[in-house]
């Protein structure tokens, strides 16, 4: 089945994004989380810092830039 899915993508019948979405819709949330963990995607893309607030941005503003 993997070969069939790869054939569809490689020969242009479906895009990589379409195949990814089909796979993700088919998988449970637990399956997706395990896949991310097994492939170290959770660690690689984890945010170390929160998004700055508007006041943080104003406080860090340097008018001499």
Looking at the predicted structure, is the pLDDT value of residue 61 above 80? Answer: no
Tokens standing for residue 12 = 């242009």
Question: Residue 57: pLDDT above 70?
Answer: yes
Q: Which residue has the higher pLDDT, 49 or 37?
A: 37
Place of tokens 């810092």: 49
> How far is C-alpha 50 from the geometric centre of its chain's CA atoms?
18
Predicted model pTM:
0.59
For residue 47, the model assigns a pLDDT of: 62
The pLDDT of residue 55 is 77
Tens digit of pLDDT for each residue in 16-48? 999 999 999 999 999 999 999 998 887 766 665
């Amino acid at each position: 089945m993997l070969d069939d899915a790869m054939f569809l993508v490689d020969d242009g019948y479906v895009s990589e994004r379409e195949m990814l979405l089909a796979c993700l819709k088919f998988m449970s949330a637990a399956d997706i989380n395990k896949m991310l963990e097994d492939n170290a995607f959770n660690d690689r893309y984890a945010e170390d810092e929160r998004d700055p607030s508007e006041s943080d941005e104003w406080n860090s503003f340097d008018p001499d830039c």
